[in-house]
Amino acid sequence: MPIFFFVLFGAYFSGNIYIFIRGWQAISGLPITLKVVFGILYWLGALSFLYMLKRDEAFPSTLAHYLHQIGTGWLVFTLYMVIGLLVIDLFKLFHLQSGYSIFVLSGLVLAVLLYGFINYKNPRVKQIDLAIDKPVNSAVKQLKIVAVSDIHIGYGTNKAALKKYVKLINAQQPDLILIAGDLIDNSIIPLRSQRMDEELALLKAPLGIYMAPGNHEYISGIRESKSFLAPTPVKLLCDSIITLPNHLQIVGRDDRNNRHRLLVSELVTKANPEWPIILLDHQPLELEKAAEAGIDLQISGHTHSGQVWPITLVTKSMFELSYGSMKIGKSYFYTSSGLSLWGPPFRIGSNSELVVFNITFR
């Protein structure tokens, strides 16, 4: 892992040096004062993400939020500018170029990023009708479940953003709320300083709110994550199962960061196979084994559906179900793209979403 980050940061800084040199060449005719201002502003943006290395230190929430937006957003700006400049350099070989190419490219990149930001800020509500051929102990045979994942509350998804998400979830009037991991981002510190538990306390669902941990609950410290969630209405299920009064069984599988987590087949031995079983498993892996274990519905997240192009292509190749639904035997699987996101505040080639499952039981 350290080698991976070393390569990643090396590529990032190399890309920024490349962009800076080309930008400096493009403004060569300007007064030196303006060029110095350009250099200072450029490297302030390029280096702003470094504050994330101090994630366990408290920052003023407003300052940290904008540092997060600019610093992580610069990652995507760098990616798209490098791709565009390489294309321009390729055109040079065929003498197809313009003195204004880099300015046009910068404008196009900023326009795409603006679109991605607006798209991210407007999550979609997706309705899925599903029939489970098992009975419930209730006169009402229908259930509305709101499923979300990857909210990543912290400096990026701050209290103001969380408040909007809570309102959106409650507006669906769910019977049950399920969270498929990564509710928390990288640290508990901004959650406590901004009192985000106050917003989580406003979530409403008569059958409860249940969550399985994701990898970011471990990045934030699983003990600290559990401590933060304990007084909230969000019940964390780590390799455990709860049976609701209507006999619906919710199984929460621990994240892969726990190398000793139980297999799905071991978890369902605690369940009654005659009653409906919903599995929350943050990372959509080993779906065949979950189907063999007899789960009726698995809800996952983690992939963000790639979040931005061309990473969308990478996640499709990495996961059997990087986004959307599929059925294996009698088992139904759904991987959400996430209600919010990690890092860069853009959705380009993917969408933020809240999923409403309208389930009918036998």
Tell whether 67 and 112 lie within a shared domain.
Answer: yes
What's the domain count of the chain?
A: 2
At what angle are helices 32-47 and 2-26 packed, to 10 degrees? 160
42 and 188 assigned to the same domain: no
- CATH number reported for the structural domain that contains residue 338 in this entry: 3.60.21.10
Q: Provide the mean pLDDT of the chain.
A: 93
Q: Are residues 65 and 151 in the same domain?
A: no
What is residue 135's predicted lDDT score, i.e. its pLDDT? 93
Residues 303 and 206 in one domain: yes
Domain that holds residue 102: 2-120
Residues 320 and 205 in one domain: yes
Q: Are 136 and 54 within one domain?
A: no
Q: What's residue 48's pLDDT?
A: 86
Of 87, 120, 153, which one is at a domain's C-terminal end?
Answer: 120
| 345 and 299 in a common domain | yes
pLDDT, tens digit, 9 for 90 and up, residues 158-211: 999 999 999 999 999 999 999 999 999 999 999 999 999 999 999 999 999 999
| pLDDT value at residue 53 | 66
- Spatial CB neighbours of 209, under 8 Å, sequence gap ≥ 6: 176, 177, 178, 179, 203, 233, 234, 235
226 dihedral zone (left: phi>0; alpha: psi -120 to 50; beta)? alpha
- In contact, 186 and 343? CB cutoff 8 Å: no
Are 225 and 279 part of one and the same domain?
Answer: yes
Which regions of the chain are under pLDDT 70? 1-2, 52-58, 95-100
d(CA 35, CA 178): 52
Whose structure tokens read 């900023």? 110
Q: Which of 105, 120, 135 finishes a domain?
A: 120
Domain end position, chosen among 120, 147, 172: 120
Q: What is residue 50's predicted lDDT score, i.e. its pLDDT?
A: 79
Secondary element (H or E) of residue 126: strand 124-132
Are 104 and 160 found together in one domain?
A: no
User: Is there a single domain that holds both residue 53 and residue 150?
Assistant: no
Q: What pLDDT is recorded for position 9?
A: 84
Question: Which of 184-212 are b and which e, b meaning 16 or more Cβ less than 10 Å from the residue's Cβ?
Answer: bbbbbbbbeebebbebbeebebebbbbbb
For residue 177, the 8-state DSSP code is E
Contact 216, 256 (CB under 8 A): no
191 and 66 co-located in one domain:
no
Are 216 and 347 members of one domain? yes
pLDDT the model gives residue 268: 94
Instruction: Detail the DSSP E strand segments found in 154-273.
Output: 176-179, 209-211, 234-236, 240-243, 249-252
